[in-house]
Amino acid sequence: MQRGDTLYSIAFRNGMDYRDLAAANGIKSPYTILVGQVILLDAKPAQAQQSPSSPRVVRAEPPQRNPAIVSKPQSGSRPPQVAPAPVVSTPPPAAPSVASVPEPSPAKPANPPTPVVASDADGLKWQWPAKGARVNGYVAGDQTRQGIDIAGTAGDAVRSAADGVVVYSGNGLIGYGELIIVKHSTSMLSAYGHNRRRLVQEGDSVKLGQQIAEMGSTGAKRDMLHFEIRRNGKPVDPMRYLPAQ
């Protein structure tokens, strides 16, 4: 157990659904854990009120605050808004005489633009969390490849890949550096690791495309973003949800 852990970060570290972990320990929404509270990792819901012989447990510790790391966005700042393209209305041409009607030109197939947002089966809209080349991909079952890595430069914007609420903002998960976890629905979470600076705190609501961190190399050998999507506590390939580039 690390200082500043939440129920979500404990479940994330152990590859569990936070709802299962909460049910096993009799913890109800909003899933608050207390300092010194023992969390059973492998108990069934019916066992939460008993004393199992040798359960795996973790004990909550007080959070370790570091104001130099976490910086809230300036008051009143909002993510840039893109103005919609103006709609131009062109009056219809006058009807030509029969003798001057030209032959219709063959239609040319249009190349649709690459989408910047994709929707999943749950109705969530997703976008890429950072600009840059994908340098590592997801590999099912590989504990070291549970997401994708996006290369970049220190200070590059890291953005929320979908609307949600920040459920973890800290550096207590070994191997992730400065980490942010965002809850998008009851079943979907996303994680953003190796940041140089976190710009949001637990409980903050974030919007699709909102900057939540600055890219960095904490817990990594190069500047990059490690990005994961988890469904019901289990890692899934982010490429199934992100729009084509």
Asked if the structure places residue 69 within a domain, the reply is no
Indicate if 221 and 145 belong to the same structural domain: yes
Angle 210-213-219 (CA atoms, 0-180°, nearest 5)? 145
Among 44, 59, 74, identify where a domain stops: 59
Note the pLDDT of residue 68.
41
Burial of 74 (0-12, 13-18, 19+ CB in 10 A): exposed
Asked if the structure places residue 106 within a domain, the reply is no
Indicate if 134 and 23 belong to the same structural domain: no
Asked if the structure places residue 25 within a domain, the reply is yes
Indicate if 30 and 132 belong to the same structural domain: no
Indicate if 48 and 125 belong to the same structural domain: no
Note the pLDDT of residue 72.
47
Indicate if 140 and 235 belong to the same structural domain: yes
The dihedrals phi and psi of 33, each to the nearest 5 degrees, come to -115, 150
Among 42, 59, 76, identify where a domain stops: 59
Indicate if 139 and 39 belong to the same structural domain: no
Distance CA 193, CA 187 (A): 20
Indicate if 55 and 128 belong to the same structural domain: no
CATH number at residue 187: 2.70.70.10
Note the pLDDT of residue 98.
41
Asked if the structure places residue 49 within a domain, the reply is yes
Asked if the structure places residue 96 within a domain, the reply is no
The number of angstroms, rounded, from the C-alpha of 164 to the middle of its chain's C-alpha atoms is: 8
Note the pLDDT of residue 196.
97
Asked if the structure places residue 75 within a domain, the reply is no
Among 25, 42, 59, identify where a domain stops: 59
Domain with 30, as residue range(s), is 7-59
Asked if the structure places residue 133 within a domain, the reply is yes
- Total number of domains in the chain: 2
pLDDT tens digits in sequence order for the chain, 245 residues long: 556 778 888 888 888 888 888 888 888 877 887 777 788 887 565 444 444 444 555 555 555 444 444 444 444 445 445 445 444 455 555 544 444 444 545 444 444 445 577 777 678 999 999 999 999 999 998 888 999 999 999 999 999 999 999 999 999 898 999 999 999 999 999 999 999 999 999 999 999 999 999 999 999 999 999 999 999 999 999 999 999 98
Asked if the structure places residue 232 within a domain, the reply is yes
